[in-house]
Amino acid sequence: MTSPRTTGRIAYQGEPGANSHIVCQQHYADLESVACASFEDVFAAVRSGAADLAMIPIDNTIAGRVADIHHFLPDSGLHIVAEHFLRIRFHVMAVPGSTLESIRTVHSHVHALGQCRRIIARLGLTTVISGDTAGAAREIADAADPTQAAIAPPLAADIYGLEVLAKDVEDEDHNTTRFVVLSRDPVRPAPGPEPIVTTFMFNVRNLP
């Protein structure tokens, strides 16, 4: 049984070109991907009926759990109906005509910068923290400054017309993010030989 769909939309946090956008395109190409500014906006879009589904990153093999998501889920009123994994790839990108020698600063989300320390150190770049990786790419495109670059997913370079200066610059090749798909309605899988994932949520007392 699949979750009912009425709007044909799936919401995600970030700007077009973000990793959440990529995983939406990979697994829900028939749905319109809707960018939201915050995780709260993503949850609200599904609860209000503005979107059928939400694509939410839950943890990463390098950075660990995604902050705040475990606080939002218990009170969201939504159901986990699917799970997907995305191998994270980051490229260094800048406006056309830039080179690795011309760039002086690199913009990205704090986690992406932390996952690409080697190339940042090798090039001697000054880091600038942005709200998300795709947003960093858009900022670089808007600035049109050949001394500035972004670390972002490959799709962001295509969307914002940037030139890729270095590919797959993440420090670890096993960098993977786990995403869950949320819906207003639960999915009750039919009995069968395929494994079924069950998620438990519980609270514990925080005592010294």
- Considering the candidates 72, 177, 198, 199, report the single residue annotated as catalytic: 177
Tokens representing 72? Answer: 């939002």
105 catalytically annotated:
no
CA distance 115 to 91: 12
90 catalytically annotated:
no
- Considering the candidates 6, 133, 179, 200, report the single residue annotated as catalytic: 179
CA angle 174, 179, 181 (to 5 degrees): 160
Name every residue whose Cβ is closer than 8 Å to that of residue 61 and which is 6 or more positions away in sequence: 172, 174, 175, 176, 177
* Torsion 91-143-161-110 (CA) sign: positive
Query: Which of 138, 140, 105 shows the shortest CA–CA distance to 120?
Result: 105
Q: What are the catalytic residues?
A: 177, 179
